[in-house]
Structure formats: C-alpha cells, structure tokens
Amino acid sequence: EIMMTQSPVTLSVSPGERVTLSCRASQSVSRKLAWYQKKPGQAPRLLIDSASTRATDVPARFSGSGSGTEFTLTITSLQSEDFAVYFCQQYNKWPNTFGQGTKLEIK
C-alpha cells in the first residue's frame, strides 16, 4: 500500500500567520490527494480534494498544491478556529491511505 508521510508532526504558530503543511507519498498518486481537518470531539472535515479543489464552504485561506509525491496545504492568516489536526489521504490506489497528521497548535 502507499505510505503517506506528513511533516512536521506538530507546528506551533500564532494567529494571523501563514503556514504550510507537507504530505509526501511513497509513490506517485497523481493528483488524487485529499486534505482533512480534525478537531477534538468533531467529525473530520474534507477541505481539499484532487490536490487543490476546495470543498464546499471551505474558506479561501485554505489552498492545496502539488502532484505526484509531494503536496502542500497552505493556510494564510490563521484564524483561531484553524487550530486542529490536518490529515492527507491518497486515493490513487486501493487501499485508500492516510498520513499520520500534523497538529497545528497555538504558539
């Protein structure tokens, strides 16, 4: 199966900052890459699919890029509600696999 590796594991940032999260695949996944946000006690939320397509109602400060094996999720001007864990997931080859997550915490 395809291994997904996210970095860093934890990122301490201040509100208002811009942040970039990375996701690497062990083999090419083309652009079949999704990003999710997970807050404690809440359901995961789809942010991005097809590497760069924002899901419904996702603010424009979230953007995704990349293809092949290297992907990034960028959040410009962090809001308080953005502090959460972010997961990437490939769907280019069964079984679907997830990264281990990057936790954004308040600095």
Partner 1 sequence: VQLQESGPGLVKPSGTLSLTCDVSHGSIHSSYWWSWVRHSPGMGLEWLGEIYHGGGTYYNPSLKSRIIISRDKSKNQFYLNLTSVTAADTAVYYCARSFFSISGSFFETWGQGILVTVSS
- Of 10, 16, 31, the closest CA to residue 85 belongs to 10
By the rule CB under 8 A, 80 interacts with partner 1 = no
By the rule CB under 8 A, 42 interacts with partner 1 = yes
Beta strands in 1-107 (DSSP E): 4-7, 10-13, 19-25, 33-38, 45-49, 53-54, 62-67, 70-75, 85-90, 97-98, 102-106
By the rule CB under 8 A, 62 interacts with partner 1 = no
The residue within the footprint of partner 1, chosen from 21, 23, 25, 36 (CB under 8 A), is 36
* Candidate segments 9-17, 18-26, 62-70, 83-91, binder of partner 1 by CB under 8 A: 83-91
By the rule CB under 8 A, 89 interacts with partner 1 = yes
Distances (CA, A) of 69 to 23, 75, 84: 8, 20, 24
Q: Which H/E stretch holds residue 31?
A: none
Measured from the CB atom, is 75 or 99 closer to partner 1?
Answer: 99
By the rule CB under 8 A, 43 interacts with partner 1 = yes
- The site for partner 1 (CB under 8 A) is made up of 1, 32, 34, 36, 42-46, 49, 55, 87, 89-101
